[in-house]
Amino acid sequence: MSGKIQLPIVNPNYEDGAPGAGQSGDAPKAAGKPRAEGGDVMSEIEWETKNHPVFLYMKGSPVMPQCGFSARVAQILQHLGVQFASCNVLEDMEKREAIKVHAQWPTIPQLYVNGEFVGGCDIITEMFQTGELQELLGVEG
């Protein structure tokens, strides 16, 4: 097991997945630093996964998920009271493809904890059921 993480650390530029915490619901926000012209999407993925203890790539937002698999992972994190940042990949087609290469993982959602790829919906659900996710995140429940 890797070490427990410090919570919360929330970058104000990112959507916060905690219920009721600064969600606009609409007004698509480019999660993360805007890519400078010619900017490197892989560096941006590296940056956002390393600079947020818990980062979720998903379809839609935690409040308005656009896919059942993404919704389930967001719900699990919210249920555990974990603060997390997220990125709606439906608003960024380049990143949607780049995250698949970055994690060597072909599907969405993708959850990173402490900069490490942890898994998609099935793995997160299994880890939640066994308590491994709670242990990794350092939370009860």
Residues forming contacts to other proteins in the complex (CB under 8 A) are 59-60, 65-72, 90, 93, 96, 104-107, 117-123, 125-127, 129
> What's the min distance (Å) between Cβ of 91 and other proteins?
9
Nearest CB to other proteins, comparing residues 57 and 117: 117
- Torsion angles phi and psi, residue 81, rounded to 5: 70, 25
> What's the min distance (Å) between Cβ of 41 and other proteins?
16
Nearest CB to other proteins, comparing residues 83 and 91: 91
Q: Beginning with the edge strand found earlier in the chain, give each strand of the sheet holding 110-113 in spatial order.
A: 15-16, 85-88, 54-58, 110-113, 116-119
Nearest CB to other proteins, comparing residues 13 and 97: 97
Of 95, 89, 88, 90, the residue nearest 41 (C-alpha): 95
> What's the min distance (Å) between Cβ of 8 and other proteins?
26
Helices marked H in the chain — which ranges? Answer: 41-50, 68-79, 93-103, 121-130, 132-137
